[in-house]
Amino acid sequence: MVATDPSQQQIDAAQVHPHVEYRCEPAEKSSLGDASVDLAVAAQAAHWFDWPRYVAEVQRVTRPGALVALVSYGILDVEGDAGPVIARYYRQDVGPYWPPGREHVENGYRDLAWPWPAVEAPRIEMKAQWTRAEMIGYVATWSATVKLVDTVGPAPFEKLRTDLARVWPDEQERRTVTWPLALRFARR
């Protein structure tokens, strides 16, 4: 099932696979046929859904025995002294500016209950090697950073830049950034 904003959806022709059908429509009301899906996955999106309507739609479109999955990446960790700087910014500076639903991401979607039996998921994480500029670029994309800057101005974000430069002075140095992946599986 695809759950994205149609106005922002673009599929690169190089990424199109001939055996995949691409659709852009609400997760809670798709044009998929009844019992037509063997795998339903929502990746980094379930916290935006009308959960009861989404579950009903998954029930409708999946076949008995289908696997249903939620995937979300958690709060990042950055190696070295930059980790606490990012953590403080996340909790204190932009914390109040996260939209409702963020708590689902923070708790690994544990409170979004499937009505079907759970399937054990492996513990995995995502890792990247980033420069300070890449980290700042990523943090600038957070919806909470955008709202913070729109509401109070750029000073808190600029303070983050300064604080990171102090503990991560080499602009070319790459540090390990880790996100725990939350995987919630169930068997329909």
pLDDT one-digit tens code per residue, 100-111: 989 999 999 999
Q: How much is the pLDDT for 18?
A: 85
Q: Which domains does the chain have, with CATH numbers?
A: 6-187 (3.40.50.150)
pTM of the model: 0.78
142: part of which helix (H) or strand (E)? Answer: none
Q: What is the pLDDT of residues 164-179, one digit of tens each?
A: 999 999 999 999 999 9
The whole-number average pLDDT for the span 10-24 is 75
Beta strand 62-73 with 37-43 is parallel
Structure tokens at 186: 């169930």
CB 38 within 8 A of CB 93: no
